[in-house]
Amino acid sequence: MNKIKLSFMVFLALSIFVGFSQAMAEEAVFNIDQTSTIYPDDFSTTKILAKPQLQFPDTTSIIDRAFLNLIVEPTAADTTFISVRLYPITTDWSADNVTWNSPWTNPGGDFNDVNYSEYAVTLPGQQEIQIDLTDLCMRWADGRLPYFGFMIEVADFSLAPLQFVFDHENNGGFGRIVISYTTMQPE
């Protein structure tokens, strides 16, 4: 009976080791150095657009986690709930010719309002936030969503966007996207 238990334990240990050796975890960091800001004629809202050159591994890779790191600073006294939303853009655009009305079908931008990420800021003062992009990056990587960049806005039910500041990091960039993924090695 002990030989059977020992054989099973050795088999289990080898199976786990072989499984781990076939998967190699990697991490990629993409700095966001350039953004575009669009707003309507009445300046009632502001949207920040970015299209960093994300390079996804092949479609057999698994996105383990992905985050957009930003430095924000609420400037209003009431910071009980400020919702920062990130939407994937669905129309190709260029920083050279983007406005509130162009090249969009809908004023303010064409974006996917079903698949988005959100972060609630509840503390006053300057702080770094992490918006979870894992699901969006997986959808971009496997082709379920086209990648044309993303739009960031402070949600309508939050404070007015003019009472909220996105600060540049020490290196001058707007933020960075960190993607951790696992590449399955062929057997």
pLDDT value at position 77? 63
Number of domains in the chain: 1
Q: Which amino acid is at 142?
A: D
137-171 pLDDT per residue, tens: 989 988 889 999 999 987 655 554 445 556 555 55
Residue 11 lies in a domain: no
Residue 30 lies in a domain: yes
Residue 63 tokens read as 């996105």
Q: Which of 57-66, 96-105, 122-131, 147-156 reaches the highest mean pLDDT?
A: 96-105
Share the mean pLDDT of the chain: 77
Q: Which residues contact 157 (CB under 8 A, 6 or more apart)?
A: 83
What's the rounded mean pLDDT across residues 32-37?
A: 87
Q: How confident is the model at residue 98 (pLDDT cuts 50, 70, 90)?
A: very high
Per the document, the length of the chain is: 187
Residue 30 tokens read as 């993409």
Residue 13 lies in a domain: no
Residue 9 lies in a domain: no
Residue 129 lies in a domain: yes
Instruction: Give alpha helix (H) positions in the chain.
Output: 2-22, 134-141
Contact 117, 124 (CB under 8 A): no
Contact 154, 83 (CB under 8 A): yes
Residue 161 lies in a domain: yes
Contact 70, 140 (CB under 8 A): no
Distance, CA of 120 to CA of 18 (rounded, Å): 41
Residue 19 lies in a domain: no
Distance, CA of 55 to CA of 43 (rounded, Å): 34
Which residue, chain included where needed, has tokens 């949207």? 47
106-144 pLDDT per residue, tens: 999 999 998 899 888 877 778 888 999 999 998 998 888
Residue among 57, 51, 55, 124 nearest 86 (CA):
51
Q: Which domain holds residue 112?
A: 24-184
What's the rounded mean pLDDT across residues 73-98?
A: 83
> Residue 180 in 3-state DSSP?
strand
Element (H, E) at 38: strand 36-38
pLDDT value at position 10? 44
Residue 12 lies in a domain: no
Contact 84, 131 (CB under 8 A): yes
What's the rounded mean pLDDT across residues 4-20?
A: 45
How far lies 164's CA from each of 13, 108, 125, 181, in Å?
Answer: 53, 19, 10, 32
